[in-house]
Structure 1
Amino acid sequence: MEHVIALDVGGTGMKAALVAADGELLHQARRATGRERGPGAVVEGILDFAAELGAYGVERFGAPAAAAGVAVPGIVDEERGVAAYAANLGWRDVPLRDLLTRRLGVPVVLGHDVRTGGLAEGRIGAGRGADRFLFVPLGTGIAGAIGIDGRVEAGAHGFAGEIGHIVVRPGGTPCPCGQHGCLERFASASAVSRAWARACGDPDADAADCAKAVESGDARARTVWHEAVDALADGLVTALTLLDPRTLIIGGGLAEAGETLFTPLRDAVRRRVTFQRLPSIVPASLGDTAGCLGAGLLAWDLLTTSTTPRR
């Protein structure tokens, strides 16, 4: 069976798959990224993992993979196939596409992790059928993927979609990016976890605990949750004013709260819009398979174009 190799590289773990042309996951595997061993060991681990997937594909299907797609965190130069910067992995200008091409002997395409996951959500997940969508995962930080006619826009310099660094509270909490009051300092899953831990006095409390406390009627939790939802709505209205998406897909850890998040968020966005058209606001549907599925889509797209596509 014709297939491609898909890798989704995270800060602590890697997910991999062999993906058929129709998006079916033919084989899945996981392993630790191994960042504690240093950036060089992480790269070697990726190369070895990809080679193992390739060998498995030959054994299982009698033919090598047609191509490979890889989603990586941080700043990615997708045109050159370079992992430009990832603080949590210690990467600077890693020529990952060329290294993998030499190791695997097949065409390889590299993509930013959030844009790659957004490609899958937009094309075969919660945004299926939408000509314009915005995918926003609420995790350790907040990023975004801008979908246009089944593709995801990288921008002129590879920074398109960084909604987490819209300033929603001027002069507020410092952000590692150098600004103060960025959206991800207030509305990411990690920001909610920090705020709830302070409010309840339990340093181990997290955003999921906060959501449960909201559901049980805890006033402190409701205050924390309300402040996060308000900040998120402010950032999203800025984004939809600029982008006018038909569908707004919310994913990541905070979205696992379900309607505890989506009901107040839809209300908050609705109160803020004036002339703008309100998009459908829906939860992501692919879970933690989105990165692998998106990497597979990148690989299949690569096979249908004469040059590596921008994502």
Structure 2
Amino acid sequence: MRHVIALDVGGTGMKAALVGADGTLLHEERRATGRERGPDAVVETILGFAADLRAYGEEHFGEPAVAAGVAVPGIVDAERGIAVYAANLGWRDLPLRDLLGERLGSVPVALGHDVRTGGLAEGRGGAGHGTDRFLFVALGTGIAGAIGIDGVVEAGAHGSAGEIGHIVVRPDGPECGCGQRGCLETLASAAAVTRAWAAACGDPTQDAADCARAVDAGDPAALRVWADAVDALAAGLITAITLLDPRTLIIGGGLAEAGETLFTPLRAAVEERVTFQTLPHIVPATLGDTAGCLGAGLLAWDLLATEVSV
């Protein structure tokens, strides 16, 4: 049975799958990255995981994978197959596509940015299915986005399209790791809400999920923290809507797990800011933490289709 290898590499863990031509997940597996052992160990863990998946496919499906797709965090040059920079993994200019290709017996390998890859899956088979123009926004430790046009995610001229987390929404706001002040992700990411709520309640063990529960319980301090984050998020989203005019706005990531605690005030806050813009449908992501794997599989199948057509 023809299949591809799909790898979704995170800061501490990896999700992987063997994916059939119809998008079916034939086999799923997870492993730790081994980040505590250093960048070289992480690379070797990824290569070893991919090789094990290849062997599994050959044993159970009668043939090895015909291609592989891998999604990684940080800055990615997909065209050259290089993980340019990933602070949490210690990478700089890592030729991951070539390394994987060599380990897997010279099969074609597609490399993608983790959020754009997850957005690709959400756009084609998740919350954006059937939508010609969508914007996927992931609210996690940081904030990043994927711009979808007719089933394809736009990477940009230099591989950094969709970095909505670095739109400045509060010029006098907190300093961001990118060097600016008041970036959206410093105010409205799950990490930002965690910091603000831990400070407001005086308990450093509290996180964004705890804040959402406190909002549901009517806690005044939690309501203030949540309102500030929603206000900043709406400001960033209205800028994106103005520039991109998406038909559907898909919100995923850890903060979106709060459900209507987030979506009800967010929809209202965005609608209040709309003047001439057309308000998109604002919907939650549906694929959860499988989006990255599914998207990596799509990258691999797309790569094969491109090679056949050339």
Q: Same fold (TM over 0.5)?
A: yes
Q: Please tell me whether the aligned partners of residues 119 and 150 of structure 1 are also in contact (alpha carbons under 8 angstroms).
A: yes
How many pairs were matched up?
309
User: Which residue does 2:246 correspond to in 1?
Assistant: 245
Distance apart, 1:299 and its partner CA: 0.3
Provide the rounded CA distance (Å) in 2 between the counterparts of 1:296 and 1:59.
20
CA distances 1:93-116 after superposition (whole Å, capped 9, x unpaired): 110100111110211010000000
Provide the rounded CA distance (Å) in 1 between the counterparts of 2:293 and 2:185.
24
Distance apart, 1:307 and its partner CA: 8.6
- 5 Å matches for 1:250-289? 250-289=251-290
Q: Does residue 138 of structure 1 match 2:139?
A: yes
Q: Does residue 69 of structure 1 match 2:69?
A: yes
Provide the rounded CA distance (Å) in 2 between the counterparts of 1:308 and 1:192.
47
Distance apart, 1:306 and its partner CA: 2.5
Provide the rounded CA distance (Å) in 2 between the counterparts of 1:42 and 1:254.
27
CA distances 1:241-261 after superposition (whole Å, capped 9, x unpaired): 000000000000000000000
- 5 Å matches for 1:210-229? 210-229=211-230
- 5 Å matches for 1:110-149? 110-149=111-150
| RMSD (Å), alpha carbons | 1.1
Provide the rounded CA distance (Å) in 1 between the counterparts of 2:88 and 2:118.
19
User: Which residue does 1:13 correspond to in 2?
Assistant: 13
Give the 3-state SS of the residue equivalent to 1:168 in structure 2. Answer: coil
Distance apart, 1:289 and its partner CA: 0.3
User: Which residue does 2:187 correspond to in 1?
Assistant: 186
Q: Please tell me whether the aligned partners of residues 168 and 231 of structure 1 are also in contact (alpha carbons under 8 angstroms).
A: yes
Percent identity, aligned pairs only, is 80
Give the 3-state SS of the residue equivalent to 1:48 in structure 2. Answer: helix
Distance apart, 1:227 and its partner CA: 0.3
Distance apart, 1:23 and its partner CA: 1.1
Q: List alignment gaps of at least 5 residues for structure 2.
A: none
Give the 3-state SS of the residue equivalent to 2:148 in structure 1. Answer: strand
Q: Does residue 295 of structure 1 match 2:293?
A: no
Q: Please tell me whether the aligned partners of residues 109 and 308 of structure 1 are also in contact (alpha carbons under 8 angstroms).
A: no
User: Which residue does 1:99 correspond to in 2?
Assistant: 99
User: Which residue does 1:82 correspond to in 2?
Assistant: 82
TM-score where L is the length of structure 2: 0.98
User: Which residue does 2:3 correspond to in 1?
Assistant: 3
Give the 3-state SS of the residue equivalent to 1:304 in structure 2. Answer: helix
User: Which residue does 1:34 correspond to in 2?
Assistant: 34
Give the 3-state SS of the residue equivalent to 1:158 in structure 2. Answer: coil
- 5 Å matches for 1:157-236? 157-236=158-237
Give the 3-state SS of the residue equivalent to 2:239 in structure 1. Answer: helix
Distance apart, 1:2 and its partner CA: 1.0
User: Which residue does 2:58 correspond to in 1?
Assistant: 58
Q: Which amino acid aligns with 1:141?
A: G
Q: Please tell me whether the aligned partners of residues 196 and 221 of structure 1 are also in contact (alpha carbons under 8 angstroms).
A: yes
Q: Which amino acid aligns with 1:168?
A: V
Q: Please tell me whether the aligned partners of residues 175 and 185 of structure 1 are also in contact (alpha carbons under 8 angstroms).
A: yes
Distance apart, 1:308 and its partner CA: 11
Distance apart, 1:21 and its partner CA: 1.1
Provide the rounded CA distance (Å) in 2 between the counterparts of 1:248 and 1:155.
19
Q: List alignment gaps of at least 5 residues for structure 1.
A: none
